[in-house]
Structure 1
């Protein structure tokens, strides 16, 4: 038997093993990407349904009544806010789109002439800003500006207060990790962490104060912010790098 063929066999087997491993990794990644895309779609559908409901309740309860222009203005405000909701569904929310919507709202405001118009516009603006917060949490509102930071510019006190301290607790990290794919109610977080009442509220408050999570509305579900999501990506990359 040719000795060279014997010596070649382990090398060929190793090459086949590497090929199979790469194929499996690619297949797993494709499945993960598909799963995350479906989760993101379901998440967006859920959030936009909440936004649409919030528009109706907010305008109905927050606008001046009686007012001769109430129905007309309510229709205009509803169209404005629902159009923004449609942009969220399509994932079409860039800096330019947001700037355009702000300009549009400003033009609508200039056309108003009643003394109590400020009350209604305050409600509309509040609903619009809430939409922007949700957009940020959904990772849709992406800036095109590339911001490069240097290590020398790190503010140690701020990093410790807003990043390291909030993440120095296992339960808080557990909460953030769980929110990368869905929102959670207080009771769901209690079940997840094993914490109750004031103990859980303390950790939630830490994350809220650090802008890592937000509460959709009073007594509503908690969800991760863009800052919190990006921070979790950094931690995932760090862990993968440290294991390589």
Structure 2
């Protein structure tokens, strides 16, 4: 029970109110500091992720052109240099916070102009590979959610395609080991042997689950026999699952 002198002393209540105000100020400061730290961590993670992604794109350009361009052609090295410059400049777009449709249209027009200068019939073979690499870049830009189409509209529930959603999201994440693999890549790349140690799976069994995640574009491989890393699509799905788990736990 409170002392009678405390009850009858308004100064005590005033001091308590001041202490409570100080306590609330400290609490808000801590919350703000934690949020700033979290924002900094996310910004650094995004930077590292983009750096890894652009590095992957550069490697993909080099290996794709080297593998698929016509060997017996006097223009091969000249065209390869021009294609490489075009595609690697596109990779730099991924570092931007926002890309508007006009920029993508300019890139498409630039590739069309390059194709108009093609001197031989067999140029179609090389341009087919360039188009494939360009489409992959556009898909990555779209997955980063930085591409703003002029007619972009917020999708509604009726727009959900059951077959696509089950095949590309629900089925890949319905397996414990696949979800474990995806979670392990949230902050770093993983080798095949590291994933084997993590999951306890070996050889073909592990490869089966990795292939499922690759096909669903939730992870990608830097190059043949290289490390595996999460895509923006895979990371966003993990964030969605974490939010959903909070919803279930707080229900």
TM-score by length of 1: 0.80
Residues 141 and 147, structure 2, Cα contact 8 Å, conserved in 1:
no
Once the two structures are TM-superposed, the CA of residue 238 in structure 1 deviates from its matched residue by: 2.1
The equivalent of 1:176 in structure 2 is: 182
Aligned equivalent of 2:49, options 43, 48, 56:
43
Q: Deviations over 1:175-211 (max 9, x none)?
A: 2223333332322222333322223223223323433
Q: Report the Cα distance in structure 2 between the residues aligned to 1:207 and 1:118, rounded to whole angstroms.
A: 32
**Pair 1:117-2:137 in alignment:** no
The equivalent of 2:148 in structure 1 is: 143
Residues 59 and 223, structure 2, Cα contact 8 Å, conserved in 1:
no
Residues 177 and 232, structure 1, Cα contact 8 Å, conserved in 2:
yes
Once the two structures are TM-superposed, the CA of residue 117 in structure 1 deviates from its matched residue by: 0.3
**194-203 vs 208-217, which moves further:** 208-217
Count of residue pairs the alignment pairs up: 242
**Pair 1:213-2:219 in alignment:** yes
Considering only CA atoms, is the larger Rg found in Structure 1 or Structure 2?
Answer: 2
The equivalent of 1:165 in structure 2 is: 171
Once the two structures are TM-superposed, the CA of residue 217 in structure 1 deviates from its matched residue by: 3.7
- Aligned ranges for residues 177-216 of structure 1 at < 5 Å? 177-216=183-222
The equivalent of 1:106 in structure 2 is: 112
Residues 96 and 146, structure 2, Cα contact 8 Å, conserved in 1:
no
Residues 63 and 70, structure 1, Cα contact 8 Å, conserved in 2:
yes
Gaps of 5+ in 2: none
TM-score by length of 2: 0.78
Pairwise CA RMSD:
3.0
Q: Report the Cα distance in structure 2 between the residues aligned to 1:118 and 1:98, rounded to whole angstroms.
A: 22
